[in-house]
Structure 1
């Protein structure tokens, strides 16, 4: 059995969180029904990982764990089809198996049907066996196959229930974390109003007017963000509200909101955004871009201050080979080690803990938003040596978008904004 097969199997099994868990009554019920329909004393639901066979439901024997090399079901796992053996002593696959020879058991009759996930991964079997030779009618064999499929349905329901429970727990924490994502627009408001208050003589009047305008726009966007996010929190998450959004305009709004943050770090932010629109939820996508840009500014400015001027490069354009908008945000900070690039998308995880302040929820928020739009997000190495976060969003997200998890709730002119 190949390492690749084992890896896919282990990943699929992990999603069900069934190993080591309390007995699943529905699986026990299916095992009991299998024993009854096949007229045998023993039936077992086996999950087989890379090293062991786990009896997660059993009738007629106590559920146990054994080495995979001792398992009869592991012998036929990769073939993933119904198996019927009247007397295992006469079958070359099983004649020397310890469950047949008497070392671990004296099985003679054996039949099994594979447990195959919706993705086509064989993760175990539903098997029936007895110490006397026997057989199954075609109808009994068909029933065993059907019950094996039902066992997979039970596991799928278990996975969905666990995911829902996790989302509900995260929803309880949502209200306390939402301020993290609203801090940048609020800082823009405060900063611009401070500028406006410095003086209103003839020379400062134009500056004050522009500052107040920026503050008003930031306040309006923050109000939209609050309204949308709290609606998701109250309702437990809904499908994103899809509209056509000009990509360059969206990025420009975010840069305006982050004006004070960028200025405080003396960072250079370069934007290369193509004309065009992406279909998505405006408030959520604004939050996505805001988190990516503020993270890049923070991490490029938060290490070796003064050694290298912080640089953030934002590029957004339609992919020429695929129907997606591709957004990349590069920085010239320390980067994120390859072994941490998946973990940084988890709540409370940070790629450079201790280097800069923060709660470690920004990229977790980003992943939730991207996945809700049917897209993908990943971390790579930036050409400047720092981190690159890449986001791919479908051109027409309406067919790909799915409910936002209750946890959290793109060639126009090139510009450079210097702090």
Structure 2
């Protein structure tokens, strides 16, 4: 065996081989770089190339053999890029003959591989894969010195190549590298063309998107009811939307310096009289100061109604933080300010009226107190002499009744009945006055106990009446004195205005309400209250005219009226109102009247008949 080259270098193996497990780090680094260069050609597992096939056939012809191939050595395999004389295909790198010379800088010429210790144990030589005897390998090296593989010729018989043959094969190895470099450049050009096309499409998409955004921005600026002004870093106007033009009363010239904007468009301070200096224009301030917020300005160009606006804006920055301009939003607040001024004027008027009303309330309270005191005093002072009158009339009737004769006794009885009615009226007025003048002491009250005292007070008038207590509750939260007075009036009315057609029945119902509070209802089967008079019966001195009577209205002199003075239900309303409740009248199913009083769970302010709130004591 002879070599036509320099002595063989030690065979360099990859990290995938068992012999390389202890290779130094530098060898690993060089292999990584070599593999990167190999993969950069993107040739592994690619279809056959006619030009490379022609080079391989020419190599076989020059060497005088029938088999030749181009082998590329990957990390773990050998890939045959082109082959002649046999069916090429990938194989394990550890089984490759060319992998054993990978990195050798010169041609490897082996006339008889069976006698060469580097190759004689290979499966390609010892018959396991093939019977290779003659073998020659020419390295394929990039311009950067990276070994990709080799151009290889071989035969099953012993051969030796001439120097001229070896020279031609070296030329063919250079041709192979030129073709590989050409393929790489072509693919790079294709990649660049694809990238350029992609960039062009991206640019077109970007341009389309920018146009769409510009159209959207233009439509947005046109449609919003807010003025928008913008300038560049030099302070020249770049954007003025239609609303801003309308507010300023003229077309703003694009390119106009923001410093001149105040002078050109008649900008004034919030007082509407002081002209703004050029540097005080909101757009100029936003550019210089960085931001402005809620700056009130009056736009008052010559010959035009002033417009009051509110300006908010800020400086604009690029990604590096440099100021590239400013923008200001201008909102018309002329109508809002006019409304505010009108509301302030109305509020001041309401405050004056409130003060006047407070004075009137104070005077009304004083007058009510005086009237209550007067009613109490008058009732008390009238009650004493009236009692004397009644007493003497009774004495005259008892002592001199026979002497008076029938006509005299009738006159005397009429006088006594009139005095008794007057006495009842005085007592009712006194009760009405007391209902709103005494202190309010709300506490739990057992209703059955109060009702028992009421029945006792009614005396003979309640003897033939059925008075019952029903409902889901037996306890009420109220002032016990006022509750007794309330029940005495309501139950007394039911007994007094009983129906002559059926036995009198009065039902007193007490129940707790789901939403809080409680309800007192007094239902009877008496004469009832006509629908049109159920609200009027709570007025002072009002007496309902029933269907049995011929009176035209409450308080009418003509027609028979219900007995009473028309004060009891008015007193009931005052008592319920003092507790923060309300009272109403309705019809009892089957005939009669039901008086229903609703009391809150938490005591509320009482409202007097004049509509003025009165604090509870």
- TM-score of the superposed pair, with normalisation by structure 1: 0.47
Q: Which has the higher contact order (CA 8 A, sep 6+)?
A: 1
- TM-score of the superposed pair, with normalisation by structure 2: 0.32
